[in-house]
Amino acid sequence: MMDTSDYKSFLEISGVGKSYIEYALTYLNNNDALPFKNGIYDGKERDKREKHLSLMMLNKFIKMMGEGEDAETLLNYWNTFRHIESRIRGDFHIHTIFSDGMNTVDEIIAEAEKIGYSWIVFSDHSPVKGNSYRLDDEKFSRFIDETGISSGKTSLSVYKSIEADISPEGVLMFPDRWLKDLDFIIVSMHENITDYNKTLRRIETAVKEPEVKVFAHPFYGLEHDNNTDYMENLLDILEETDTAVEFNFAPQYVMRNFELLHRCRGRTVKFVLSTDTHFLYNLYLMRFASAFSDLFHGDFAEKNLNFHENVYF
């Protein structure tokens, strides 16, 4: 278990507001779980949206602290690597206020310029009925308009994508009419994965769509054990379809990226580096990539080139 004095430092990695961190610490000091029920806030008012998203994120951090070793290792990495590796030129996975992010397109672009990136990818969530933290037709139209206007005011290359869930039939879960306004598609799963064969068939169908370029956070919904065959088969599919796999630096995935790196050795599967940003300072989660820096810039990188010609890792 982490020492109590490290709790606050670890929670600060989340990038959420100080008041929410203090709120979480109150419960931690009383040995209570953070009280939160998913869906309690509708996200239409900023303060309610911030509370909803902050507590969701802090719950993940508290869960990691309960698991012990990974949280300590992550805090050590965070304190060791103070800057984003200068050879990383962008971020493939960023959410905005148009889905479950807290920040505007312009706010994120301004921060990415401070970091020194050359490009960024906005990839808000595909629709799910009854979920106000997802894109719909009205929000998608505003998303396209705002990214178009903002890209004209920055030296960054700004790419418009969508993080699309996959239906049980392997169909991308958003209207086909949106495709004409998007540069490419990122796909992912947001559910517990138990039937490996059925899930792999869904993924294989989805990534054969020519617009799909990346499969995001491949460990989402997987238990830490007993998924060796699933991961190997998933990488087979991605390699065969020329689809990149994401190294996602949200804290719950950082340590498992070492496993992913190991599984990618000897393959030609492409990869991208992402933070899965939901709060502005989540952009700095890319600091965790420094733990892999030599590997991302050595032999492995030469054999596993990123799909985008403007990307250099």
What is the CATH number for 100?
Answer: 3.20.20.140
Same domain for 230 and 91, yes or no, is yes
Same domain for 175 and 270, yes or no, is yes
Least confident range from 12-16, 127-131, 297-301: namely 297-301
User: Which residues form the domain of 58?
Assistant: 4-78
Least confident range from 68-72, 204-208, 287-291: namely 68-72
Cβ pair 173, 127 in contact under 8 A: yes
Is residue 225 very low, low, confident or very high in pLDDT (cuts 50, 70, 90)?
A: low
The pLDDT of 265-292, averaged and rounded, is 92
Give the start-end residues of each E strand in the chain.
Answer: 90-94, 119-125, 157-165, 185-188, 212-215, 244-248, 271-274
Q: pLDDT tens across 102-130, in order?
A: 999 999 999 999 999 999 999 999 988 77
Cβ pair 306, 90 in contact under 8 A: no
Give the domain-ending residue among 78, 100, 118.
Answer: 78
| b/e sequence 283-304, b meaning 16+ C-beta within 10 Å | bbbbbbbbbbeeebeeebbeeb
Give the domain-ending residue among 36, 52, 78.
Answer: 78
Bridge partners, 121 (sequence order)? 159
The closest of 202, 190, 107, 102 to 147, measured between CA atoms, is 107
Same domain for 53 and 127, yes or no, is no
Q: What tokens were used for 199?
A: 């899930």
Angle between helical axes of 228-240 and 256-264 (0-180°, round to 10):
50
* Percent of the residues in the chain that have a pLDDT greater than 90, as a whole number: 66
Cβ pair 120, 156 in contact under 8 A: yes
Same domain for 123 and 258, yes or no, is yes
Least confident range from 108-122, 171-185, 253-267: namely 253-267
The rounded Cα 193 to chain-centroid distance in angstroms is 18
Is residue 295 very low, low, confident or very high in pLDDT (cuts 50, 70, 90)?
A: confident
Predicted pLDDT at 288:
95
Q: How many domains does the chain divide into?
A: 2
The pLDDT of 171-180, averaged and rounded, is 96
Q: What is the CA radius of gyration of the chain?
A: 19
Same domain for 69 and 192, yes or no, is no
Predicted pLDDT at 1:
60
Is residue 303 predicted with pLDDT exceeding 80?
A: no
Same domain for 63 and 112, yes or no, is no
Same domain for 209 and 289, yes or no, is yes
Same domain for 59 and 195, yes or no, is no
Give the residue with greater pLDDT, 87 vs 251.
Answer: 251
Predicted pLDDT at 31:
76
Predicted pLDDT at 46:
83
| b/e sequence 27-60, b meaning 16+ C-beta within 10 Å | ebeeeeebeeeeeebebeeeeebbbbbbbbbbbe
Is residue 41 very low, low, confident or very high in pLDDT (cuts 50, 70, 90)?
A: low
Other beta carbons within 10 Å of 157: 16
Same domain for 221 and 162, yes or no, is yes
Kindly tell me the sign of the dihedral angle through the C-alpha atoms of 37, 38, 42, 44: positive
